[in-house]
């Protein structure tokens, strides 16, 4: 008997379904996707193999995620158009973390103990970077999205791409080398490590220990933007800043020049008003001081005039001008009594217009 392809696939599908009946299979969930909010597709894997599975959206229990170990009840079959073998899942029961999830959890715990995730070691991102380094695939849409948003928000920013594979066996080593290349340049202000969304296995490079340590060792602040908003990798935890998407990374690394100009105008006005208030306060203080200084100066003049009058009254010259005189002995001491001099002493008498030198006779 000769089958058409459609007849053969239908026959095999029926044979598998009826021959095996309902089977139980245990494995780790990977690449879980929901199509059109109706169909759920994922693979079950163990250390040596994997098998494709599908089920209806409403049959999927809450909490099933990539990396979880589950046991399913399913019927084997073929997709009649593609001929691809699959398991039509009837029920899913979680039985624990899978090997991938367990290894990832252990690595997270190790790096956290060493302080790689510590908030206090994270550095601030420069407010106005001049040169931005980007680690991603040269063909990635994430790169073009970041460059477009950087130019729209600020412009005239230098962007340096350090290309690296972002998935596959060699990806982690390439990402480490890309980071080292950027760190060797003195002009790089900040580095964005990024890729678009993907299945859990496609993000493995960003969950590697080598990439985590390279980000930690970077002398330049690092922004991690890996996958979609719901994805959180070890690279996100180590980085100085985690962005939810590549586009969000661009938005958080540079300011919007329009918003910045509005802020500058606002601050200029605030400073102008503050300066105006300060000038007004200083003017008022000066006026108050001048009025108080005038009062103080008038009192000072009055006190000086009184002191001048007193000095003039006590001035010996004024006394002499009134007809008095001052007599001194040969030592220059004022003669206050006749007992202080003797016959033959020479004395000097000061009057208003000069001195008289005399010899005592009696």
| CATH number for position 137 | 3.40.50.2300
Tell me, yes or no, whether 240 and 277 share the same domain: no
Single residue among 205, 227, 255 that ends a domain in this structure? 255
SS (H, E, C) 13-25: HHHHHHHHCEEEE
Average pLDDT over residues 11-20: 82
pLDDT tens digits along 21-75: 888 999 999 999 988 888 999 999 988 899 999 999 888 887 788 888 888 888 9
* Closest C-alpha among 134, 185, 186, 187 to residue 164: 134
Q: Are residues 109 and 191 in the same domain?
A: yes
Question: How far is Cα 219 from Cα 112, in angstroms, rounded to an integer?
Answer: 20
| H helix intervals, the chain | 5-20, 99-113, 141-153, 171-183, 209-217, 234-238, 246-253, 257-314, 316-321
Question: Looking at the structure, do residues 266 and 159 belong to the same domain, yes or no?
Answer: no
Of residues 102 and 46, the one with the higher pLDDT is: 46
Query: Please, how many CA atoms are within 13 Å of residue 248, restricted to the half-sphere of its CB?
Result: 14
Instruction: Give residues with Cβ within 8 angstroms of 260, minimum separation 6.
Output: none
Q: End of a domain among 255, 275, 295?
A: 255
**What would the DSSP string read from start to end of 339-358?**
GG--TT-EEEEEETTEEEEE
How far is the C-alpha of 321 from the C-alpha of 136, rounded, in Å? 108
Please determine, for residue 99, whether its predicted confidence score (pLDDT) is greater than 80: no
Q: Are 135 and 175 in contact (CB under 8 A)?
A: yes
Residues 170 and 211 both lie in one domain:
yes
Of 91, 155, 119, nearest to 238 (Cα)? 119
Shared-domain flag, residues 64 and 131: no
Work out the pLDDT band at 352, boundaries 50, 70, 90: confident
Domain count, the chain: 4
Residue 97's pLDDT band (boundaries 50, 70, 90)? Answer: low
Percent of the chain whose pLDDT exceeds 90: 32
249/287 same-domain check: no
Instruction: Tell which of 97, 114, 135 closes a domain.
Output: 97
Within this chain, do residues 234 and 112 fall inside the same structural domain, yes or no?
A: yes
Distance CA 25, CA 87 (A): 10
All residues at 6 or more sequence positions from 138 whose CB lies less than 8 Å from its CB, including other chains: 161, 163
pLDDT at residue 223 greater than cutoff 90 = yes
Q: Are 183 and 232 contained in the same domain? A: yes
Share of the chain above pLDDT 70, in %: 97
This prediction has a pTM of 0.57
- Residue 135's closest CA among 89, 196, 173, 191? 191
DSSP 334: B
pLDDT, one tens digit per residue, over 106-156 is: 889 999 999 999 999 999 999 889 999 999 998 888 898 999 999 888 878
- What is the average pLDDT across 298-314? 79
- Residue 309 domain boundaries: 257-313
Q: Of 192-206, 243-257, 280-294, which one has max mean pLDDT? A: 243-257
- Tell whether 143 and 220 lie within a shared domain: yes
pLDDT for residue 235 is more than 70: yes
- Same domain? For 321 and 285 the reply is no
246-269: average pLDDT: 84
Q: Tell me the pLDDT tens digit for each residue of 151-200.
A: 888 878 899 999 999 988 788 999 999 999 999 999 999 999 998 877 77
Judgement on whether residues 225 and 331 belong to the same structural domain of the protein: no
- Share the mean pLDDT of the chain: 86
Q: Which residues contact 157 (CB under 8 A, 6 or more apart)?
A: 129, 130, 131, 132, 150, 151, 254
Domain CATH for 15: 2.40.50.140
Domain shared by 35 and 130, yes or no: no
Residue 77 has pLDDT above 80, yes or no: yes
Instruction: Find the mean pLDDT for residues 338-355.
Output: 85
């Amino acid at each position: 008997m000769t089958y058409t392809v459609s007849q053969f696939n239908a026959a095999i599908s029926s044979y598998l379904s009826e021959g095996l009946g309902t089977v139980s299979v245990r494995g780790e969930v990977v690449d879980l996707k929901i199509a059109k909010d109706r169909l759920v597709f994922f693979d079950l894997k163990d250390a040596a193999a994997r098998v494709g599975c599908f089920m209806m959206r409403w049959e999927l229990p809450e909490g099933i995620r990539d990396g979880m170990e589950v046991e399913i009840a399913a019927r084997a079959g073929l997709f009649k158009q593609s001929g691809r073998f699959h398991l039509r899942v009837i029920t899913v029961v979680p039985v624990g973390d899978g090997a991938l999830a367990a290894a990832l959890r252990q690595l997270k715990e190790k790096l956290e103990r060493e302080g790689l995730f510590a908030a206090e070691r994270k550095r601030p991102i420069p407010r106005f970077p001049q040169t931005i380094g980007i680690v991603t695939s040269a063909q990635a849409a994430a790169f073009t999205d970041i460059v477009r948003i950087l130019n729209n928000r600020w412009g005239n920013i230098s962007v340096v791409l350090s290309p690296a594979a972002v998935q596959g066996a060699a990806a982690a080593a390439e990402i480490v080398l890309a980071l080292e290349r950027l760190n060797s340049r003195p002009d790089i202000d900040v580095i964005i490590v990024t890729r678009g969304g993907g299945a859990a296995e496609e993000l493995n490079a960003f969950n590697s220990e080598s990439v985590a340590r390279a980000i930690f060792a970077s002398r330049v602040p690092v922004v991690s933007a890996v996958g979609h908003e719901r994805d959180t990798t070890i690279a996100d935890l180590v980085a100085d800043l985690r962005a939810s998407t590549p586009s969000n990374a661009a938005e958080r690394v540079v300011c919007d020049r329009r918003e910045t100009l509005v802020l500058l105008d606002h601050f200029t006005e605030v400073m102008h008003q503050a300066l105006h208030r300060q000038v007004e306060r200083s003017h008022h203080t000066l006026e108050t001081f001048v009025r108080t200084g005038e009062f103080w100066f008038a009192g000072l003049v009055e006190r000086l005039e009184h002191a001048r009058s007193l000095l003039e009254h006590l001035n010996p010259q004024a006394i002499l001008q009134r007809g008095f005189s001052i007599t001194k002995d040969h030592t220059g001491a004022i003669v206050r009594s006749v007992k202080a001099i003797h016959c033959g002493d020479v004395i000097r008498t000061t009057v208003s217009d000069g001195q008289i030198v005399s010899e005592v006779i009696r």
